Homo-oligomer: A and B are copies of this chain.
């Protein structure tokens, strides 16, 4: 997959953040923090991705969800190849600052590359589910 050029990505609404808030984020030894993505409309947990400080900065600046791909070792912007974009409305951070929660408007089919709306479409002992 070709890395996405940030300059060509349609931007949403930027999110405000203070230096104090940004300093509260604690990245792990590989420079990453997990980001849980939740549908702002109905609360569905859509996916978990990883951000480094640059991915978080791009996310806040553009209102689009940017992640760091551990497998491909590159930045990716959710939906820029599939069209299933996420428009970020709010970013929360947890008590320890070592996890983020993005509240998004999910465009298109959903967040999962399998075509499911949520990446969490399977449940132990129950098989496929319809999260909602």
Contacts and interface: CB of A to CB of B under 8 A. Distances in A.
Contact residue range for chain A? Answer: 35 or more
Q: Which label, helix, strand, loop or mixed, suits the secondary structure of the A interface?
A: loop
Nearest to A46: B94
A28 B36 CA distance: 17
Contact of A43 (B15, B42, B95, B125): B42
A22 B78 CA distance: 28
A119 B95 contact: yes
Specify how many copies of this chain sit in the oligomer.
Answer: 2
A95 B113 contact: yes
Given A42-B43, A45-B45, A101-B45, A124 B92 contact: yes
Nearest to A116: B95
Given A17-B124, A36-B45, A42-B43, 4 more contacts: A21-B124, A36-B36, A43-B43, A92-B131
